[in-house]
Amino acid sequence: MTVAPTLPGAVTVRVPAKVNLELRVGPRRPDGFHALATVYQAVSLHDEVSVARWDEWQVVAAGAYADRIPTDGDNLAVRAARLVADRWDVDECLSIRIDKDIPVAGGMAGGSADAAAALVACDQLWGLGLDRDELAELAATLGSDVPFILSGGNAMGSGRGEQLAPVLARGTFHWVFAISDTGLSTPEVYAECDRLRERDGIDVPEPQVSSELMAALRSGDPALLGAALHNDLEPAAFSLRPQLRELRDAGVEFGALGGIVSGSGPTVAFLTESHEASLDLSVSLAASDLCRDLRRAKGPVHGAHVVATPRHAD
Ligand code: C5P
């Protein structure tokens, strides 16, 4: 693992991953994106992004998935920071340290999380005083789910996923995430979804979130939520990675209340009854040899926020 000290004067932001409790994918739009109706939940797998003034642009990666992120201008945190610098005429370079605990290309908004974190961190470092709307507008230009990662909690997403509306929800939910060694490309999964729909002559209606899911969230009952989980991208992810279906089925057989590919995958998310049940499920899945990397998390949690003490304060 890279040793990456946090620089003096750095601002550190903690930022969560997400799971889509429901992801309805509508027709492909003229701009290439798909119309979505989705319900997001922020979950307690976190990255931390620290920014500090530096004499050139620099990305230093640490944490579980450090070796899987770009450290050049393609890095979403760098793109976010440069966007803020350009927009507000800030003529400074930054050292950006990313402590990466959210899987990369896993369908959990790992890249989007770093972009959202960098926006909040730059706002604080440069004393810009941006309000939620200004941050959300910048976020939407960086990725469809970046606005949600800023706000966290539970929310409904429409448009291409960037337009948020609140949802009524109660309770805390306990998840197990089965993480694959290699990621899936989001554009490839959407393209596979289109290909399967065309092949099978499926008529694609305008997407709508189901009343079952909304009722389940209002009730706070994990069994109802487990039964209501749905992802239109799942057939495409299974088509590209057939072993994910076996993994999903195994988790449900081992007692999960519901199992679903997270976003565009390949992470598979399992909802459990309780903290204890999530421990039991992790043990069963680990013993099954279907997945080596298992993480437990709860949701909902807060969106990107400045922290006084970084996880690995040096
Ligand atoms: O917005 P984001 O950068 O996360 O999107 C990555 C890719 O995922 C897009 O380039 C597009 O191929 C696909 N996508 C889509 N429809 C959406 C969101 C993403 O087709 N609503």
Rounded CA-CA distance 10/51 in Å is: 5
SS3 breakdown of the chain: % helix, strand, coil, rounded to 5? 35, 30, 35
289 pLDDT band (50/70/90 cuts)? confident
Query: 57 and 93 in contact (C-beta within 8 Å)?
Result: yes
Residues with CB under 6 Å of ligand 1 are 33-34, 36, 143-145, 160-161, 186-187, 190
H or E element that contains 140 = helix 132-142
- Which two tokens mark 91? 């003529």
| The overall pTM is greater than 0.85 | yes
- pLDDT confidence of 308, banded at 50, 70, 90? confident
Q: Which atom of ligand 1 has the smallest separation from the CA of 25?
A: 21
- Count of CB atoms situated within 10 Å of the CB of 15: 32
What pairs with residue 91 in β-bridges? none
pLDDT in tens, 106-164: 999 999 999 999 999 999 999 999 999 999 999 999 999 999 999 999 999 999 999 99
pLDDT digits (tens, 9 = 90+) for 163-183: 999 999 999 999 999 999 899
Q: Which amino acid is at 274?
A: S
Identify the pLDDT of residue 177.
98
Q: Is 29 exposed, middle or buried (0-12, 13-18, 19+ CB in 10 A)?
A: exposed
Q: What residue's CA is closest to ligand 1, atom 19?
A: 33
Between CA 174 and CA 181, with CA 177 as vertex, the angle to 5 degrees is 170
**Nearest residue by C-alpha to atom 11 in ligand 1:** 187
| 18 a catalytic residue | yes
Residue 55 vs residues 18, 52, 91, 93, 174: alpha-carbon distances, Å:
34, 10, 11, 6, 43
Please name the residue whose Cα sits nearest to atom 7 of ligand 1.
187
